[in-house]
Amino acid sequence: MSKDQAPNVDAPSGLGRRKFINTAALASLAGVVACTDKSAPGASAPAAAPKAGADSGIDYSKYEVKPGELDTYYSFSSGGHSGEVRIYGLPSGRLFKRIPVFNMDCLVGWGITNESKKIIGTRPDGRPLYVTGDTHHVHQSYVDGTYDGKYMFVNDKIHGRLARVRMDTMECDKITELPNIQGFHGTFPDKRDPVDASINRTTRVFCGAEFAIPLPNDGKNMAASDKYHSLFTCVDSETMEVRYQVLIDGNCDLVATSYDGKLAATNQYNTENGAHYEDMMSAERDACLFFNVARVEAAVKAGKTRTFGSSKVPVVDGTKAANQDPKTAIVCYVPVSKNPHGVNASPDGKYFVCSGKLSPTATVIDLSLVLKWFDGEVKDARDAVVAEPEIGLGPLHTGFDNKGNAYTTLFLDSQIVKWNVEAAIKAFKGDKTAKVVLDKLDVQYQPGHGFTSMGETKEADGKFFLSDNKFSKDRFLPVGPLHPETAQLIDISGDKMKLVADHAVYSEPHDSIIVRRDLIKTRQVYNIDDFPNAVKDAKDCRVERKGNKVTVYLTSQAPTFGLREWTVKHGDEVTIILTNLDKVEDLTHGFAIPKYDINFLVNPQETKSVTFKADKPGVYWCYCTNFCHALHLEMRSRMFVEA
């Protein structure tokens, strides 16, 4: 044990807590890690996480956000199998908002209002297509290599859907289901300049399918996993329609795009195309696939495509067999470290980094050499690899600062490692004096995803790294078997990393991005003219009947609804259209009907609607659920349902 590794007396058999957890993790790999170099930096069990308070020597007051002060950054995080997206402030770690996307949410009425049902999609009987979701990776739209504050995109791994969130309202406005894929994991927008800068748009969003399946997946050849394929998908960010797909060998994991718009990439951890876990890690190397965007789109335009099943989306052949000649190939398969998880772009636009989950190494790929491979100037795709430093056990995600340094999560070592990209390249060329690994910091425990402030843009600022850890044992007050997870904030502005805050987060966040607050411009009040069915004056409140279909036009303005009571008949199909006439920022009203499962919010100058069947005769008090006024409890209306 090194001098900075203090034993933990509370752990079983005298083992340190992290060593105890790592022992279980290593055992579960059943010898896989035994194939890696145990002498690699970070191979030994790390120490317990650093102590907080005076003993640490850190001035924590520097990171405090005092009452009345604003955070410096937004952190936009996936919500995992909650199906939502979350917004935190940094460095405070305060939770600002949960954006429902693929999940039902009775706070705002997502999945209840007609408007949200239209976005989610419904079955013929009006029920949502799906009531579950699994968000993993969130990314925002770009202009000239940095965030433009227009859109945010997030995937649904379970049902293969891509959602778009409007950043001016921070609400989901579009969901698209991708055809012929399963396990939609990675997604990334185009980073290049938009085609037309005047409309401030990102033109493409690239999506990777993790689970290979038979194509078409129609119940035939189900056991022949060697015939399974994955598809790499391009979605138009404005229309949210699928533009095209690329058929590939192996699977997709995560996705990255180059700053010049020429390349999109996905890493693969299952080049073997195995159906069982032991078959997915037999190869000593896996791959990072690079898609030549211009060539793919030229092939689509030329009609060199096919379709699968009932989908009309054009599919280009990107398999190895169809891409033997680099000068005509649309996909380049670059061998990388074993079972990588993640591919990340350096802010200078030169490199992509893949980390070998089952190798102690990270693979640095020079994008200029990938382009030269496509031109036939580089013969072997492996020659695009310019560094493969040993950085520790279980490397996963990598973030970057503005000084040429990379920060990678080490899942098995429960550490963050800081290493220099150019030094790694020099060492790869044989320079034994190059200092690659600059620092390591213990986190608690098993960091999955990690990201730097503005690190996914050319404006990476080198201020903070956030480590999302999968285990928070002993870090917070106990709350039962399901523990919170830990987002640990790390100051990376100096030579040594400093752990400065623990933020408890609800299970189970995956990826996040940290965005400067000045890049986000939101509306504070809606524009009533954006809603064609808005009731613009309380005098226009009314009940209209067409047969057994009844429409109730209603307004809310603290502390009253536009109709004191209204009457429908048993069996009527009722649609309520509610407009909030208040213009005061943050003066939101709710609308709930007992026993009818109706509950939703309307923000200032916003209109929403619900449709339901009046199947229970009687008197039903409709009330405001959002505290809005001194007479909030008195803000009610009555629905009479005649027998």
Q: Is the pLDDT of residue 298 over 90?
A: yes
Q: Is residue 241 part of a domain?
A: yes
Which CATH number characterizes residue 308's domain?
A: 2.130.10.10
Q: Is 107 helix (H, G, I), strand (E, B) or coil?
A: coil
- Residue 265 DSSP code: E
- Give the per-residue pLDDT at 29: 52
- Give the per-residue pLDDT at 596: 97
- Give the per-residue pLDDT at 203: 85
| C-alpha span between 299 and 296 (Å, rounded) | 5
CB 630 within 8 A of CB 636: no
Q: Is residue 109 part of a domain?
A: yes
What digits encode the pLDDT tens for the residues 226-251? 889 999 999 999 999 999 999 999 99
| C-alpha span between 557 and 241 (Å, rounded) | 39
State which H helix or E strand residue 293 sits in.
helix 293-301
Structure tokens given for 8: 């933990």
- Give the per-residue pLDDT at 30: 42
- Residue 199 DSSP code: G
Q: Is residue 43 part of a domain?
A: no
Q: Is residue 25 part of a domain?
A: no
- 213 and 192 housed in the same domain: yes
pTM: 0.91
| C-alpha span between 474 and 16 (Å, rounded) | 12
What digits encode the pLDDT tens for the residues 219-228? 988 998 888 9
Band (pLDDT 50/70/90 cuts) for residue 127 is confident
Q: Which amino acid is at 385?
A: V
- 349 and 367 housed in the same domain: yes
- Give the per-residue pLDDT at 198: 55
- 302 and 184 housed in the same domain: yes
Average pLDDT value over all residues in the chain: 90
- Residue 63 DSSP code: G
Mark which of 519, 541, 563 sits at the end of a domain: 519
- Give the per-residue pLDDT at 195: 55
- 353 and 336 housed in the same domain: yes
What digits encode the pLDDT tens for the residues 616-632? 999 999 999 999 999 99
Q: Is residue 579 part of a domain?
A: yes
- 506 and 538 housed in the same domain: no
- Give the per-residue pLDDT at 491: 98
State which H helix or E strand residue 514 sits in.
strand 512-516
CB 353 within 8 A of CB 343: yes
Query: Cα angle at 197 between 196 and 198, to 5 degrees?
Result: 90
- 500 and 539 housed in the same domain: no
Cis amide bond preceding 604, omega within 30:
no
CB 301 within 8 A of CB 243: no
Q: Is the pLDDT of residue 641 over 80?
A: yes
Burial class (CB in 10 A: 0-12, 13-18, 19+), 253: buried
What digits encode the pLDDT tens for the residues 305-345? 999 999 999 999 999 999 999 999 999 999 999 999 999 99
Q: What mean pLDDT is predicted for residues 444-461?
A: 95
- 550 and 625 housed in the same domain: yes
Distance, CA of 638 to chain centre: 43
CB 409 within 8 A of CB 467: yes
CB 235 within 8 A of CB 241: yes
| C-alpha span between 523 and 516 (Å, rounded) | 17
Q: Is residue 61 part of a domain?
A: no
- 510 and 552 housed in the same domain: no
| C-alpha span between 598 and 112 (Å, rounded) | 7
Other beta carbons within 10 angstroms of residue 55's beta carbon come to 8
- 556 and 483 housed in the same domain: no
Band (pLDDT 50/70/90 cuts) for residue 202 is low
Q: Is the pLDDT of residue 45 over 80?
A: no
Q: Is residue 82 part of a domain?
A: yes
User: What percentage of residues in the chain have a pLDDT greater than 90?
Assistant: 83
Phi and psi (nearest 5°) for 533?
-100, 15
Band (pLDDT 50/70/90 cuts) for residue 40 is very low
Q: Which domain, by its residues, includes 570? A: 528-642
Contacts of 442 (CB under 8 A, 6+ apart): 18, 46, 47, 48, 49, 50, 414, 415
Q: Checking DSSP bridges between strand 161-166 and strand 146-156, what pairing results, if any?
A: antiparallel
What digits encode the pLDDT tens for the residues 134-176? 999 999 999 989 999 999 999 999 999 999 999 999 999 999 9
| C-alpha span between 418 and 514 (Å, rounded) | 18
Count the helix, strand and coil residues of the chain and give each as a percent rounded to the nearest 5.
15, 40, 45
Q: Is 136 helix (H, G, I), strand (E, B) or coil?
A: coil
- When divided into structural domains, the chain yields a total of 2
Beta bridge partners of 146: 143
Q: Is 318 helix (H, G, I), strand (E, B) or coil?
A: coil
- 431 and 464 housed in the same domain: yes
- Give the per-residue pLDDT at 2: 37
| C-alpha span between 428 and 388 (Å, rounded) | 7
Phi and psi (nearest 5°) for 581?
-85, -10
Q: Is residue 310 part of a domain?
A: yes
Which CATH number characterizes residue 535's domain?
A: 2.60.40.420
- 452 and 543 housed in the same domain: no
Structure tokens given for 406: 């990379």
The dihedral built from the CA positions of residue 628, 634, 639 and 643, taken in this order, carries a sign that is positive
Contacts of 577 (CB under 8 A, 6+ apart): 533, 535, 551, 552, 553, 554, 607, 608, 609
Whats the size of the chain, residue-wise? Answer: 643
Smallest CA-to-CA distance from 419 within 435, 397, 442, 443 is with 435
What digits encode the pLDDT tens for the residues 381-409? 999 999 999 999 999 999 999 999 999 99
Mark which of 519, 550, 580 sits at the end of a domain: 519
Mark which of 463, 491, 519 sits at the end of a domain: 519
CB 579 within 8 A of CB 535: yes
Q: Is the pLDDT of residue 8 over 70?
A: no
Band (pLDDT 50/70/90 cuts) for residue 35 is very low
- 250 and 398 housed in the same domain: yes
